Amino acid sequence: MQKKINSALISVYHKDGLEIIVKTLEKHNIEIYSTGGTWDFINELGIKAIKIEDLTSYPSILDGRVKTLHPKVFGGILSIRENESHQKEIKNYEIPNFDLVIVDLYPFEETVKNSEDEAEIIEKIDIGGISLIRAAAKNYNDVLVVSNLSQYHDLHSLLEENSCCTDIDIRKKFALEAFGISSAYDTAIFNWFDNNNFTELKFSEKQGKTLRYGENPHQKAKYFGNLENLFNQVHGKEISYNNLLDIDAAVNLISEFEETSCAILKHNNACGIASRVILSDAWDAALEADPVSAFGGVIITNQIVDQASAEKINKIFFEIIIAPDFTKTALDILKQKKNRIILIQKHSELQEKSFRTVLNGVLFQDRDLSIETESDFNYVTKKLPTKGQISDLIFANKLVKHTKSNAIVLVKDQQLLASGTGQTSRVDALKQAISKAKIFNFDLQDAVMASDAFFPFSDSIEIAHAEGISAVIQPGGSIRDEETVKFCDENDIAMVFTGVRHFKH
């Protein structure tokens, strides 16, 4: 059912884009009611508007905390037009029916980002605005609610093309958006009061993007978030669901490394990673670990990609490359493949919390931000690792933290030799890593081994020793630690405990 807009209530914090709306309302002889600064803005345009305080006979009080909270305002929004009793009361109390409500909210989230002044933040908790939006959205059967300046374009088209008439579907669509805005606003306020301790799980993300499909083509999927805050995509096809999972794994992994490093990931695990003085050498060493799995993978580095590196990288097929920047020549080289996704990573912090769905509920936890250094090592064997081994143990421990459990990582000279990922036993993970290293002709003599959790028995250490591995890093904590340490002492192996487990399921 079409409804004609005859009167409008406007009370906004942001005036951007409002001028054309107000002029259009005037052109169509729509009566305008307004408040405070919004009334001043409209008046300066030379357009007639009625002050809300003239309607209510109450001025704005308490430093502007109370302006619109009055029956003559909310009665005009909430009255049901087809209800004779409602309309009788409206007429009796001289209340206008508002057909259009244009209201936005105080910038609470922006204030939280830019200020630590609690009093200032509190004052940006909107009361009247949120109430007006909810009231108008509730009564969408009769009222069109515009709750964000991003809707002004659609509103203007609606006013001009439909002669200021609206149908129920349009009003319900705007009401849905309004409740989305009010819900997100309340979520932000709750989380600020809760100091992000998540005593209750409340999450709201306004930006959502439909993806081509989910993990598989038969699954529908959306991404909620703002990738533009993290990356500039300078080339390539649309990012998919699986791409996003790999990008997330890659970004988290490379964040552990300060030295020039390059990693290649496949299905969230690194199939190659190395640290070197220059990037092109790091690429060579990373690719050497598993040139087969690198096909179709995700490449990430913490350095600007130069021409020499790009020429080498461009020789293989891969889906995505991520770097803090690229030289112009490097970009020209890498853009030769039409669909190749090229991302420039911005400097931004990842969230310290993470959650995932499970059993119709949500698991919530702190992100694993533990990074063990040499000062955290507990040297439990008679033989101590050399300086070079210590560097490799730190490297391997960073890598095993980002490898699916059960995980074993073999490293030598700041280069991944091989890893065992996602196995049901630690022995199987080790055997997988050893087998893979041999396939690509790596010498495991004096390599180091990292485990994401303790060794329940000494069998893995015995297998590693037989291959020439001479230093081990693990959390410790098994009831058989003493047995494992004893084997190391008897066979001239260095072992350190970190006391920190890094399961990744």
Residue from 267, 312, 335, 383 carrying the catalytic annotation: 267
- Cα 62 from Cα 245, distance rounded (Å): 50
Q: Which residues of 468-503 are buried (b: 16+ CB within 10 A; e: fewer)?
A: ebbbbbbbbebeebeebbebbeeeebbbbbbebbbe
Q: Is residue 388 packed enough to be buried (19+ CB in 10 Å), middle (13-18) or exposed (0-12)?
A: middle
Residue from 86, 124, 138, 312 carrying the catalytic annotation: 138
∠ Cα 439 440 442 (to 5°) = 105
* 267 flagged as catalytic: yes
Q: Find, among 75, 390, 416, the residue nearest to 408 by Cα.
A: 416
Radius of gyration of the chain (CA): 31
Tokens of 90: 């409206």
∠ Cα 108 110 112 (to 5°) = 70
- Say if CB 124 and CB 108 are below 8 A apart: yes
Q: Which residues of 336-353 are buried (b: 16+ CB within 10 A; e: fewer)?
A: eeeebbbbbbeeeeeeee
∠ Cα 474 254 296 (to 5°) = 105
- Cα 223 from Cα 230, distance rounded (Å): 14
User: CA-CA distances (angstroms) from residue 173 to 138, 151, 154, 263, 399?
Assistant: 12, 11, 12, 46, 48
The DSSP bridge partners found for residue 361 are 358
Q: Which residues of 249-262 are buried (b: 16+ CB within 10 A; e: fewer)?
A: bbbbbbbbbeebbb
* 91 flagged as catalytic: no
- Cα 456 from Cα 40, distance rounded (Å): 74
Q: Find, among 353, 349, 385, 358, the residue nearest to 470 by Cα.
A: 385
- Say if CB 448 and CB 393 are below 8 A apart: yes
Sign of the CA dihedral with 111 first, then 108, 51, and 40 last:
positive
Q: Is residue 299 packed enough to be buried (19+ CB in 10 Å), middle (13-18) or exposed (0-12)?
A: buried
List, as own/partner pairs, every contact residues 323-329 make where C-beta atoms lie below 8 angstroms and the sequence separation is at least 24, other chains included.
Answer: 326/234
Residue numbers annotated as active site: 138, 267
